[in-house]
Structure 1
Amino acid sequence: MSGAKARFLTISDTQIAYRQRAGSAPGLVWLAGYKSDMLGTKAEALDAWAAERGHAFLRHDYSGHGESGGAFKDGTISFWLEQSLGVFRAFTEGPQILVGSSMGAWIALRMAQELNRAGEGARLAGLLLLAPAPDFTSELVEPKLTAANRRQLEDMGYMEEPSDYSDEPYIYTRALFEDGKRNRVLDGILDTHCPVHILQGKADPDVPFTHAMRLTEHLPADDVTLSLIGDGDHRLSRPQDIALILRSLEGLIERSV
Protein backbone atom coordinates (compact mmCIF):
# COMPACT_ATOMS: atom_id res chain seq x y z
CA MET A 1 0.00 0.00 0.00
CA SER A 2 1.20 3.49 -0.83
CA GLY A 3 2.96 5.21 2.03
CA ALA A 4 1.75 8.67 0.96
CA LYS A 5 -1.16 9.97 3.00
CA ALA A 6 -4.28 11.08 1.22
CA ARG A 7 -4.98 14.78 0.90
CA PHE A 8 -8.39 16.29 0.32
CA LEU A 9 -10.06 18.68 -2.10
CA THR A 10 -13.57 19.98 -1.42
CA ILE A 11 -15.85 19.65 -4.44
CA SER A 12 -19.54 20.51 -4.07
CA ASP A 13 -19.28 20.29 -0.27
CA THR A 14 -17.71 16.82 -0.42
CA GLN A 15 -14.19 15.94 0.68
CA ILE A 16 -12.51 14.12 -2.21
CA ALA A 17 -9.39 12.18 -1.25
CA TYR A 18 -6.43 12.19 -3.63
CA ARG A 19 -2.78 11.20 -3.80
CA GLN A 20 -0.32 13.02 -6.03
CA ARG A 21 3.19 12.15 -7.14
CA ALA A 22 5.20 14.93 -8.77
CA GLY A 23 7.06 14.14 -11.96
CA SER A 24 7.48 14.74 -15.65
CA ALA A 25 4.89 14.85 -18.41
CA PRO A 26 3.01 13.12 -19.71
CA GLY A 27 1.53 12.48 -16.28
CA LEU A 28 -0.79 9.59 -15.44
CA VAL A 29 -4.27 9.99 -13.98
CA TRP A 30 -5.94 6.90 -12.48
CA LEU A 31 -9.72 6.48 -12.64
CA ALA A 32 -10.99 3.52 -10.64
CA GLY A 33 -14.01 1.33 -11.23
CA TYR A 34 -17.39 1.11 -9.50
CA LYS A 35 -16.91 0.55 -5.75
CA SER A 36 -13.12 0.45 -6.24
CA ASP A 37 -10.61 2.84 -4.73
CA MET A 38 -7.21 4.37 -5.43
CA LEU A 39 -5.26 1.77 -3.44
CA GLY A 40 -6.05 -1.23 -5.62
CA THR A 41 -3.45 -3.49 -7.22
CA LYS A 42 -3.39 -1.72 -10.59
CA ALA A 43 -3.23 1.78 -9.10
CA GLU A 44 -0.38 0.78 -6.80
CA ALA A 45 1.52 -0.78 -9.69
CA LEU A 46 1.13 2.43 -11.70
CA ASP A 47 2.33 4.47 -8.73
CA ALA A 48 5.46 2.32 -8.39
CA TRP A 49 6.09 2.55 -12.15
CA ALA A 50 5.66 6.33 -12.11
CA ALA A 51 8.06 6.64 -9.17
CA GLU A 52 10.67 4.55 -10.99
CA ARG A 53 10.30 6.41 -14.31
CA GLY A 54 9.85 9.90 -12.89
CA HIS A 55 6.37 10.52 -14.29
CA ALA A 56 3.70 12.48 -12.44
CA PHE A 57 0.84 10.36 -11.11
CA LEU A 58 -2.53 11.45 -9.74
CA ARG A 59 -5.33 9.33 -8.33
CA HIS A 60 -8.44 9.99 -6.27
CA ASP A 61 -11.46 8.29 -4.72
CA TYR A 62 -14.91 9.19 -5.96
CA SER A 63 -17.43 10.31 -3.33
CA GLY A 64 -18.70 7.32 -1.36
CA HIS A 65 -15.54 5.37 -2.24
CA GLY A 66 -12.33 4.70 -0.31
CA GLU A 67 -11.19 7.66 1.78
CA SER A 68 -13.50 10.27 0.25
CA GLY A 69 -16.54 11.67 1.98
CA GLY A 70 -20.12 11.40 0.86
CA ALA A 71 -22.55 8.49 0.73
CA PHE A 72 -22.17 5.87 -1.99
CA LYS A 73 -25.93 5.91 -2.63
CA ASP A 74 -25.74 9.60 -3.53
CA GLY A 75 -23.19 8.97 -6.28
CA THR A 76 -23.93 9.27 -10.00
CA ILE A 77 -21.79 9.35 -13.14
CA SER A 78 -22.29 13.12 -13.30
CA PHE A 79 -21.10 13.62 -9.71
CA TRP A 80 -18.08 11.37 -10.15
CA LEU A 81 -17.26 13.06 -13.47
CA GLU A 82 -17.41 16.49 -11.82
CA GLN A 83 -15.06 15.29 -9.08
CA SER A 84 -12.64 13.71 -11.55
CA LEU A 85 -12.48 16.88 -13.66
CA GLY A 86 -12.04 18.97 -10.51
CA VAL A 87 -9.08 16.93 -9.28
CA PHE A 88 -7.59 16.81 -12.80
CA ARG A 89 -7.77 20.58 -13.25
CA ALA A 90 -6.48 21.33 -9.75
CA PHE A 91 -3.47 19.02 -9.66
CA THR A 92 -2.18 18.31 -13.17
CA GLU A 93 -0.10 20.35 -15.57
CA GLY A 94 0.67 19.64 -19.21
CA PRO A 95 -0.38 16.54 -21.14
CA GLN A 96 -1.85 13.60 -19.23
CA ILE A 97 -2.73 9.97 -19.96
CA LEU A 98 -6.04 8.92 -18.42
CA VAL A 99 -5.99 5.30 -17.21
CA GLY A 100 -9.56 4.19 -16.60
CA SER A 101 -10.64 0.80 -15.27
CA SER A 102 -14.18 -0.49 -15.91
CA MET A 103 -16.48 2.40 -14.93
CA GLY A 104 -13.35 4.57 -14.77
CA ALA A 105 -13.04 4.13 -18.54
CA TRP A 106 -16.53 5.60 -18.93
CA ILE A 107 -15.46 8.52 -16.72
CA ALA A 108 -12.30 8.91 -18.85
CA LEU A 109 -14.31 9.07 -22.07
CA ARG A 110 -16.67 11.65 -20.59
CA MET A 111 -13.69 13.65 -19.33
CA ALA A 112 -12.27 13.64 -22.86
CA GLN A 113 -15.58 14.97 -24.17
CA GLU A 114 -15.77 17.72 -21.56
CA LEU A 115 -12.11 18.74 -21.89
CA ASN A 116 -12.41 18.99 -25.66
CA ARG A 117 -15.66 20.93 -25.32
CA ALA A 118 -13.88 23.39 -23.00
CA GLY A 119 -10.94 23.84 -25.38
CA GLU A 120 -8.64 21.78 -23.15
CA GLY A 121 -8.23 18.82 -25.48
CA ALA A 122 -4.47 19.36 -25.69
CA ARG A 123 -4.27 18.21 -22.07
CA LEU A 124 -4.89 14.63 -23.22
CA ALA A 125 -1.87 12.62 -24.35
CA GLY A 126 -3.76 9.33 -24.47
CA LEU A 127 -6.38 7.05 -22.96
CA LEU A 128 -5.61 3.59 -21.56
CA LEU A 129 -8.93 1.82 -20.96
CA LEU A 130 -8.97 -1.42 -18.96
CA ALA A 131 -12.05 -3.67 -19.29
CA PRO A 132 -13.98 -0.53 -20.26
CA ALA A 133 -17.60 -0.36 -19.15
CA PRO A 134 -19.06 2.77 -20.78
CA ASP A 135 -22.83 3.03 -20.42
CA PHE A 136 -22.76 -0.03 -18.16
CA THR A 137 -25.95 0.96 -16.35
CA SER A 138 -28.12 0.86 -19.46
CA GLU A 139 -26.11 -1.61 -21.56
CA LEU A 140 -24.95 -4.23 -19.04
CA VAL A 141 -27.02 -3.97 -15.86
CA GLU A 142 -30.51 -2.84 -16.88
CA PRO A 143 -31.12 -5.62 -19.44
CA LYS A 144 -30.55 -8.21 -16.69
CA LEU A 145 -32.84 -6.66 -14.07
CA THR A 146 -35.40 -9.06 -12.66
CA ALA A 147 -38.94 -8.15 -11.69
CA ALA A 148 -37.78 -8.17 -8.05
CA ASN A 149 -34.93 -5.76 -8.91
CA ARG A 150 -37.33 -3.39 -10.61
CA ARG A 151 -39.67 -3.50 -7.61
CA GLN A 152 -36.76 -2.63 -5.30
CA LEU A 153 -35.79 0.31 -7.49
CA GLU A 154 -39.39 1.54 -7.58
CA ASP A 155 -40.14 1.04 -3.88
CA MET A 156 -36.79 1.90 -2.25
CA GLY A 157 -34.95 3.88 -4.94
CA TYR A 158 -32.13 1.34 -5.01
CA MET A 159 -31.41 -2.37 -5.40
CA GLU A 160 -28.72 -4.69 -4.06
CA GLU A 161 -26.81 -7.39 -5.89
CA PRO A 162 -24.19 -9.84 -4.54
CA SER A 163 -20.64 -8.93 -5.54
CA ASP A 164 -17.79 -11.23 -6.55
CA TYR A 165 -15.34 -8.52 -5.50
CA SER A 166 -16.57 -7.55 -2.03
CA ASP A 167 -18.33 -9.00 1.00
CA GLU A 168 -20.78 -6.13 0.71
CA PRO A 169 -23.42 -6.18 -2.04
CA TYR A 170 -23.31 -3.83 -4.99
CA ILE A 171 -25.89 -1.08 -4.73
CA TYR A 172 -27.48 0.42 -7.82
CA THR A 173 -29.78 3.40 -7.39
CA ARG A 174 -32.58 4.65 -9.57
CA ALA A 175 -30.71 7.97 -9.76
CA LEU A 176 -27.61 6.18 -11.10
CA PHE A 177 -29.62 4.55 -13.90
CA GLU A 178 -31.37 7.80 -14.80
CA ASP A 179 -28.15 9.82 -14.74
CA GLY A 180 -26.33 7.13 -16.71
CA LYS A 181 -28.67 7.75 -19.64
CA ARG A 182 -27.66 11.42 -19.61
CA ASN A 183 -23.98 10.43 -19.85
CA ARG A 184 -24.21 7.85 -22.62
CA VAL A 185 -21.23 7.71 -24.97
CA LEU A 186 -22.18 4.74 -27.15
CA ASP A 187 -24.86 6.61 -29.04
CA GLY A 188 -22.66 8.65 -31.37
CA ILE A 189 -19.14 9.41 -32.53
CA LEU A 190 -16.48 9.74 -29.82
CA ASP A 191 -13.59 11.97 -30.86
CA THR A 192 -10.96 12.07 -28.12
CA HIS A 193 -8.26 13.65 -30.33
CA CYS A 194 -5.65 11.35 -28.77
CA PRO A 195 -4.41 7.75 -29.03
CA VAL A 196 -6.57 5.15 -27.27
CA HIS A 197 -5.43 1.70 -26.13
CA ILE A 198 -8.07 -0.74 -24.85
CA LEU A 199 -7.18 -3.89 -22.88
CA GLN A 200 -10.02 -6.39 -22.53
CA GLY A 201 -10.15 -9.93 -21.15
CA LYS A 202 -12.10 -12.44 -23.22
CA ALA A 203 -12.94 -14.35 -20.01
CA ASP A 204 -14.37 -11.24 -18.33
CA PRO A 205 -17.66 -12.31 -16.64
CA ASP A 206 -18.85 -8.74 -16.10
CA VAL A 207 -18.03 -6.87 -19.31
CA PRO A 208 -18.19 -9.02 -22.46
CA PHE A 209 -15.32 -8.48 -24.89
CA THR A 210 -17.91 -7.58 -27.52
CA HIS A 211 -18.58 -4.41 -25.48
CA ALA A 212 -14.98 -3.29 -26.01
CA MET A 213 -15.24 -4.12 -29.70
CA ARG A 214 -18.40 -2.03 -29.93
CA LEU A 215 -16.58 0.87 -28.25
CA THR A 216 -13.95 0.89 -30.99
CA GLU A 217 -16.71 1.44 -33.57
CA HIS A 218 -17.54 4.73 -31.85
CA LEU A 219 -13.91 5.94 -32.11
CA PRO A 220 -13.47 6.07 -35.91
CA ALA A 221 -11.29 9.20 -35.96
CA ASP A 222 -8.83 8.16 -33.24
CA ASP A 223 -5.71 6.00 -33.28
CA VAL A 224 -7.23 3.01 -31.46
CA THR A 225 -5.56 -0.24 -30.39
CA LEU A 226 -7.63 -3.10 -28.95
CA SER A 227 -5.75 -5.87 -27.16
CA LEU A 228 -7.82 -8.94 -26.29
CA ILE A 229 -6.46 -11.16 -23.49
CA GLY A 230 -7.67 -14.70 -24.04
CA ASP A 231 -7.80 -15.79 -20.40
CA GLY A 232 -8.13 -12.29 -18.92
CA ASP A 233 -10.83 -11.63 -16.33
CA HIS A 234 -12.40 -8.33 -15.29
CA ARG A 235 -9.80 -7.35 -12.72
CA LEU A 236 -6.77 -7.59 -15.05
CA SER A 237 -4.62 -7.61 -11.91
CA ARG A 238 -2.48 -10.73 -12.44
CA PRO A 239 1.27 -10.15 -12.84
CA GLN A 240 1.04 -10.77 -16.58
CA ASP A 241 -1.88 -8.33 -16.84
CA ILE A 242 0.03 -5.65 -14.93
CA ALA A 243 3.03 -6.18 -17.21
CA LEU A 244 0.81 -5.71 -20.29
CA ILE A 245 -0.75 -2.57 -18.79
CA LEU A 246 2.70 -1.07 -18.23
CA ARG A 247 3.89 -2.00 -21.74
CA SER A 248 0.75 -0.43 -23.20
CA LEU A 249 1.36 2.69 -21.14
CA GLU A 250 4.92 2.93 -22.40
CA GLY A 251 3.60 2.68 -25.95
CA LEU A 252 1.17 5.53 -25.38
CA ILE A 253 3.94 7.68 -23.89
CA GLU A 254 6.17 7.02 -26.91
CA ARG A 255 3.35 8.03 -29.25
CA SER A 256 2.74 11.24 -27.30
CA VAL A 257 6.33 12.49 -27.44
Structure 2
Amino acid sequence: MSSIQTQPDFIDVNGDRIAVRHRDGQSPGVVWLGGYRSDMLGTKAETLDAWAVTNGHAFTRHDYSGHGESGGAFADGTISLWLAQSLAVLRETTTGPQILVGSSMGAWIALRMVQALHEAGEGARVAGLLLLAPAPDFTVELMEPALTQAQKSDLETRGFIEEHSDYSPEPNIYTKALFDDGRANRVLVGLIDTHCPVHILQGMADPDVPHAHALKLVEHLPADDVTLSLIRDGDHRLSRPQDLAMMISALEGLVERASEHR
Protein backbone atom coordinates (compact mmCIF):
# COMPACT_ATOMS: atom_id res chain seq x y z
CA MET A 1 0.00 0.00 0.00
CA SER A 2 1.04 3.62 -0.41
CA SER A 3 2.24 5.67 2.50
CA ILE A 4 -1.07 7.56 2.49
CA GLN A 5 -4.05 5.47 3.55
CA THR A 6 -7.13 7.58 2.93
CA GLN A 7 -9.80 4.90 2.98
CA PRO A 8 -9.93 1.69 5.01
CA ASP A 9 -10.59 -1.78 3.67
CA PHE A 10 -13.46 -3.74 5.17
CA ILE A 11 -13.83 -7.34 6.24
CA ASP A 12 -17.01 -9.06 7.37
CA VAL A 13 -16.84 -10.60 10.83
CA ASN A 14 -20.02 -12.43 11.82
CA GLY A 15 -22.13 -9.87 9.98
CA ASP A 16 -20.31 -6.76 11.19
CA ARG A 17 -18.42 -4.61 8.65
CA ILE A 18 -15.02 -4.03 10.26
CA ALA A 19 -12.79 -1.23 8.96
CA VAL A 20 -9.11 -2.17 8.62
CA ARG A 21 -5.99 -0.31 7.55
CA HIS A 22 -3.06 -2.58 6.76
CA ARG A 23 0.40 -1.68 5.59
CA ASP A 24 2.68 -4.38 4.20
CA GLY A 25 6.22 -4.55 5.55
CA GLN A 26 8.84 -6.64 7.22
CA SER A 27 8.39 -8.88 10.24
CA PRO A 28 7.59 -8.60 13.05
CA GLY A 29 4.46 -6.67 12.18
CA VAL A 30 2.68 -4.36 14.60
CA VAL A 31 -1.04 -4.60 15.41
CA TRP A 32 -2.85 -1.72 17.10
CA LEU A 33 -5.72 -2.40 19.51
CA GLY A 34 -7.51 0.75 20.62
CA GLY A 35 -9.44 1.57 23.75
CA TYR A 36 -13.11 1.86 24.63
CA ARG A 37 -14.82 4.33 22.27
CA SER A 38 -11.53 5.24 20.56
CA ASP A 39 -10.74 4.75 16.88
CA MET A 40 -7.76 3.82 14.75
CA LEU A 41 -6.98 7.39 13.71
CA GLY A 42 -5.88 8.59 17.14
CA THR A 43 -2.48 10.09 17.94
CA LYS A 44 -0.84 6.88 19.17
CA ALA A 45 -2.02 4.80 16.22
CA GLU A 46 -0.92 7.49 13.75
CA THR A 47 2.48 7.67 15.46
CA LEU A 48 2.89 3.92 15.11
CA ASP A 49 1.88 4.11 11.46
CA ALA A 50 4.50 6.80 10.79
CA TRP A 51 7.11 4.61 12.53
CA ALA A 52 6.10 1.66 10.37
CA VAL A 53 6.52 3.72 7.19
CA THR A 54 9.95 4.96 8.26
CA ASN A 55 11.21 1.54 9.37
CA GLY A 56 9.52 -0.65 6.78
CA HIS A 57 7.51 -2.80 9.18
CA ALA A 58 4.01 -4.12 8.59
CA PHE A 59 1.32 -2.28 10.54
CA THR A 60 -2.34 -3.20 11.00
CA ARG A 61 -5.14 -1.38 12.80
CA HIS A 62 -8.91 -1.66 12.86
CA ASP A 63 -12.00 -0.22 14.49
CA TYR A 64 -14.14 -2.48 16.65
CA SER A 65 -17.81 -2.66 15.72
CA GLY A 66 -19.63 0.47 16.84
CA HIS A 67 -16.35 2.41 16.72
CA GLY A 68 -14.88 4.77 14.12
CA GLU A 69 -15.46 3.65 10.54
CA SER A 70 -16.76 0.16 11.34
CA GLY A 71 -20.38 -0.89 11.20
CA GLY A 72 -22.48 -2.28 14.00
CA ALA A 73 -24.03 -0.67 17.06
CA PHE A 74 -21.77 0.42 19.90
CA ALA A 75 -24.32 -0.72 22.49
CA ASP A 76 -24.11 -4.27 21.13
CA GLY A 77 -20.39 -4.45 21.85
CA THR A 78 -18.81 -6.81 24.36
CA ILE A 79 -15.26 -7.96 25.05
CA SER A 80 -16.06 -11.32 23.41
CA LEU A 81 -17.38 -9.62 20.27
CA TRP A 82 -14.46 -7.21 19.93
CA LEU A 83 -12.02 -10.03 20.70
CA ALA A 84 -13.48 -12.14 17.87
CA GLN A 85 -13.15 -9.20 15.48
CA SER A 86 -9.54 -8.55 16.50
CA LEU A 87 -8.62 -12.20 16.01
CA ALA A 88 -10.28 -12.19 12.58
CA VAL A 89 -8.31 -9.10 11.54
CA LEU A 90 -5.06 -10.69 12.73
CA ARG A 91 -5.75 -13.95 10.90
CA GLU A 92 -7.11 -12.48 7.68
CA THR A 93 -4.83 -9.46 7.29
CA THR A 94 -1.45 -10.30 8.81
CA THR A 95 1.21 -12.95 8.33
CA GLY A 96 4.00 -14.06 10.61
CA PRO A 97 4.76 -12.89 14.14
CA GLN A 98 3.14 -9.68 15.37
CA ILE A 99 3.68 -7.29 18.27
CA LEU A 100 0.32 -6.41 19.78
CA VAL A 101 0.06 -2.83 21.02
CA GLY A 102 -2.99 -2.49 23.25
CA SER A 103 -4.20 0.77 24.76
CA SER A 104 -6.48 0.74 27.83
CA MET A 105 -9.27 -1.75 26.97
CA GLY A 106 -7.16 -2.77 23.97
CA ALA A 107 -4.63 -4.24 26.40
CA TRP A 108 -7.39 -6.50 27.76
CA ILE A 109 -8.21 -7.54 24.19
CA ALA A 110 -4.50 -8.18 23.53
CA LEU A 111 -4.15 -10.42 26.59
CA ARG A 112 -7.25 -12.39 25.61
CA MET A 113 -5.92 -12.69 22.04
CA VAL A 114 -2.71 -14.27 23.32
CA GLN A 115 -4.72 -16.78 25.34
CA ALA A 116 -7.02 -17.60 22.41
CA LEU A 117 -4.14 -17.96 19.94
CA HIS A 118 -2.25 -20.32 22.23
CA GLU A 119 -5.40 -22.40 22.74
CA ALA A 120 -5.70 -22.63 18.94
CA GLY A 121 -2.05 -23.64 18.50
CA GLU A 122 -1.18 -20.24 17.00
CA GLY A 123 0.85 -18.84 19.86
CA ALA A 124 3.85 -18.14 17.63
CA ARG A 125 1.85 -15.37 15.96
CA VAL A 126 2.55 -13.09 18.96
CA ALA A 127 6.14 -11.87 19.27
CA GLY A 128 5.57 -9.30 22.01
CA LEU A 129 3.04 -7.20 23.89
CA LEU A 130 3.18 -3.43 24.43
CA LEU A 131 0.42 -2.42 26.84
CA LEU A 132 -0.39 1.28 27.35
CA ALA A 133 -2.37 2.23 30.47
CA PRO A 134 -3.70 -1.34 30.47
CA ALA A 135 -7.24 -1.87 31.71
CA PRO A 136 -7.79 -5.64 31.80
CA ASP A 137 -10.95 -6.69 33.64
CA PHE A 138 -11.91 -3.02 34.01
CA THR A 139 -15.62 -3.76 34.29
CA VAL A 140 -15.12 -6.10 37.25
CA GLU A 141 -12.02 -4.59 38.86
CA LEU A 142 -12.47 -0.85 38.35
CA MET A 143 -16.14 -0.14 37.63
CA GLU A 144 -18.28 -2.58 39.57
CA PRO A 145 -16.86 -1.69 43.01
CA ALA A 146 -17.69 1.98 42.35
CA LEU A 147 -21.27 1.51 41.09
CA THR A 148 -23.93 3.34 43.07
CA GLN A 149 -27.23 1.74 43.99
CA ALA A 150 -28.90 3.90 41.35
CA GLN A 151 -26.47 2.66 38.69
CA LYS A 152 -26.96 -0.96 39.73
CA SER A 153 -30.70 -0.42 39.46
CA ASP A 154 -30.31 1.13 35.99
CA LEU A 155 -28.29 -1.86 34.81
CA GLU A 156 -31.03 -4.21 35.89
CA THR A 157 -34.01 -2.15 34.70
CA ARG A 158 -32.66 -0.22 31.69
CA GLY A 159 -29.86 -2.60 30.73
CA PHE A 160 -27.22 0.14 30.69
CA ILE A 161 -25.76 3.12 32.53
CA GLU A 162 -24.48 6.44 31.20
CA GLU A 163 -21.39 8.18 32.52
CA HIS A 164 -19.77 11.51 31.73
CA SER A 165 -16.77 11.24 29.41
CA ASP A 166 -13.72 13.48 29.66
CA TYR A 167 -12.83 12.57 26.07
CA SER A 168 -16.14 13.09 24.22
CA PRO A 169 -19.23 15.34 24.43
CA GLU A 170 -21.33 12.18 24.38
CA PRO A 171 -21.60 10.17 27.59
CA ASN A 172 -20.02 6.75 27.87
CA ILE A 173 -22.54 3.92 27.77
CA TYR A 174 -21.87 0.69 29.64
CA THR A 175 -24.34 -2.14 29.16
CA LYS A 176 -25.31 -5.00 31.42
CA ALA A 177 -24.15 -7.31 28.63
CA LEU A 178 -20.69 -5.70 28.76
CA PHE A 179 -20.48 -6.28 32.51
CA ASP A 180 -21.73 -9.87 32.28
CA ASP A 181 -19.40 -10.68 29.39
CA GLY A 182 -16.51 -8.95 31.15
CA ARG A 183 -16.77 -11.46 33.99
CA ALA A 184 -16.49 -14.29 31.45
CA ASN A 185 -13.31 -12.76 29.98
CA ARG A 186 -11.38 -12.01 33.16
CA VAL A 187 -7.61 -12.46 32.92
CA LEU A 188 -6.55 -11.35 36.42
CA VAL A 189 -7.56 -14.69 37.91
CA GLY A 190 -4.33 -16.66 37.56
CA LEU A 191 -1.04 -16.70 35.72
CA ILE A 192 -1.22 -15.11 32.26
CA ASP A 193 1.46 -17.02 30.39
CA THR A 194 2.09 -14.86 27.34
CA HIS A 195 5.17 -16.80 26.13
CA CYS A 196 6.59 -13.48 24.88
CA PRO A 197 8.15 -10.29 26.26
CA VAL A 198 5.75 -7.72 27.70
CA HIS A 199 6.37 -3.98 28.17
CA ILE A 200 3.82 -1.91 30.10
CA LEU A 201 3.68 1.90 30.07
CA GLN A 202 1.54 3.39 32.83
CA GLY A 203 0.97 6.97 33.91
CA MET A 204 0.96 7.63 37.65
CA ALA A 205 -1.40 10.58 37.15
CA ASP A 206 -3.93 8.45 35.24
CA PRO A 207 -7.44 9.38 36.50
CA ASP A 208 -9.10 6.38 34.81
CA VAL A 209 -6.77 3.44 35.48
CA PRO A 210 -4.78 3.73 38.72
CA HIS A 211 -1.18 2.62 38.45
CA ALA A 212 -1.90 0.04 41.15
CA HIS A 213 -3.89 -1.77 38.46
CA ALA A 214 -0.75 -2.08 36.31
CA LEU A 215 1.13 -3.44 39.32
CA LYS A 216 -1.63 -6.01 39.83
CA LEU A 217 -1.32 -7.05 36.18
CA VAL A 218 2.42 -7.58 36.62
CA GLU A 219 1.68 -9.93 39.52
CA HIS A 220 -0.28 -12.13 37.12
CA LEU A 221 2.49 -12.21 34.48
CA PRO A 222 5.58 -14.45 34.61
CA ALA A 223 8.50 -12.62 36.23
CA ASP A 224 10.75 -13.04 33.18
CA ASP A 225 10.44 -10.73 30.19
CA VAL A 226 8.09 -8.21 31.84
CA THR A 227 9.01 -4.52 31.99
CA LEU A 228 6.84 -1.91 33.74
CA SER A 229 7.64 1.73 33.04
CA LEU A 230 5.83 4.16 35.33
CA ILE A 231 5.50 7.72 34.03
CA ARG A 232 5.20 9.97 37.07
CA ASP A 233 3.15 12.75 35.41
CA GLY A 234 1.58 10.60 32.70
CA ASP A 235 -2.21 10.64 32.24
CA HIS A 236 -4.48 8.03 30.66
CA ARG A 237 -4.01 9.14 27.08
CA LEU A 238 -0.19 8.95 27.10
CA SER A 239 -0.22 11.07 23.94
CA ARG A 240 2.24 13.83 24.83
CA PRO A 241 5.42 13.94 22.73
CA GLN A 242 7.46 12.43 25.56
CA ASP A 243 4.90 9.64 26.04
CA LEU A 244 4.89 8.85 22.32
CA ALA A 245 8.69 8.76 22.33
CA MET A 246 8.59 6.23 25.21
CA MET A 247 6.04 4.15 23.31
CA ILE A 248 8.26 4.01 20.21
CA SER A 249 11.35 3.22 22.29
CA ALA A 250 9.53 0.35 24.00
CA LEU A 251 8.26 -0.92 20.64
CA GLU A 252 11.74 -0.85 19.14
CA GLY A 253 13.02 -2.87 22.08
CA LEU A 254 10.36 -5.52 21.47
CA VAL A 255 11.08 -5.54 17.72
CA GLU A 256 14.79 -6.04 18.41
CA ARG A 257 14.09 -8.93 20.76
CA ALA A 258 11.70 -10.54 18.29
CA SER A 259 14.27 -10.24 15.52
CA GLU A 260 16.92 -11.89 17.71
CA HIS A 261 14.69 -14.91 18.33
CA ARG A 262 13.75 -15.57 14.71
* Shorter-chain TM-score tier: over 0.9
Counterpart in 2 of 1:47? Answer: 49
Counterpart in 1 of 2:128? Answer: 126
CA distance in 1, matches of 2:20, 2:103: 17
Q: How far off its partner does 1:4 sit?
A: 2.9
What secondary structure sits across from 1:255 in the alignment? helix
CA distance in 1, matches of 2:39, 2:204: 24
Give the count of matched residue pairs.
Answer: 256
Partner residue of 1:20 out of 12, 19, 22: 22
The 8 Å contact of residues 196 and 222 in structure 1, kept in 2 or not, is answered as no
CA distance in 2, matches of 1:170, 1:222: 37
Which consecutive unaligned segments of at least 5 residues does structure 2 have? none
Structure 1 consecutive aligned stretches of length 4 or more whose deviation exceeds 4 Å: none
Question: What are the Cα deviations for residues 161-201 of structure 1, in whole angstroms up to 9, with x where unaligned?
Answer: 00001100000000000000000000011001000000000
Question: What are the Cα deviations for residues 98-131 of structure 1, in whole angstroms up to 9, with x where unaligned?
Answer: 0000000000000000011111111111000000
The two structures have a TM-score, normalised by structure 1, of: 0.98
Which consecutive unaligned segments of at least 5 residues does structure 1 have? none
CA distance in 1, matches of 2:8, 2:145: 38
Counterpart in 1 of 2:220? Answer: 218
The 8 Å contact of residues 107 and 132 in structure 2, kept in 1 or not, is answered as yes
Question: What are the Cα deviations for residues 200-232 of structure 1, in whole angstroms up to 9, with x where unaligned?
Answer: 000000000010011011112541000000000
The 8 Å contact of residues 39 and 68 in structure 2, kept in 1 or not, is answered as yes
The 8 Å contact of residues 130 and 251 in structure 2, kept in 1 or not, is answered as yes
CA distance in 2, matches of 1:245, 1:127: 12
Partner residue of 2:148 out of 108, 131, 146: 146
Counterpart in 1 of 2:185? Answer: 183
The 8 Å contact of residues 5 and 21 in structure 2, kept in 1 or not, is answered as no
Instruction: Calculate the aligned-residue CA RMSD, in Å.
Output: 0.8
The 8 Å contact of residues 194 and 222 in structure 1, kept in 2 or not, is answered as no
What secondary structure sits across from 1:105 in the alignment? helix
Counterpart in 2 of 1:59? Answer: 61
The two structures have a TM-score, normalised by structure 2, of: 0.96
Calculate percent identity across the aligned residue pairs: 70
Q: How far off its partner does 1:56 sit?
A: 0.2
Question: What are the Cα deviations for residues 123-166 of structure 1, in whole angstroms up to 9, with x where unaligned?
Answer: 11100000000000000011111111112111110000000011
Counterpart in 2 of 1:200? Answer: 202
1:100 and 2:79 aligned: no
The 8 Å contact of residues 193 and 222 in structure 1, kept in 2 or not, is answered as no
The 8 Å contact of residues 26 and 96 in structure 1, kept in 2 or not, is answered as yes
The letter of the residue matching 2:149 is: A
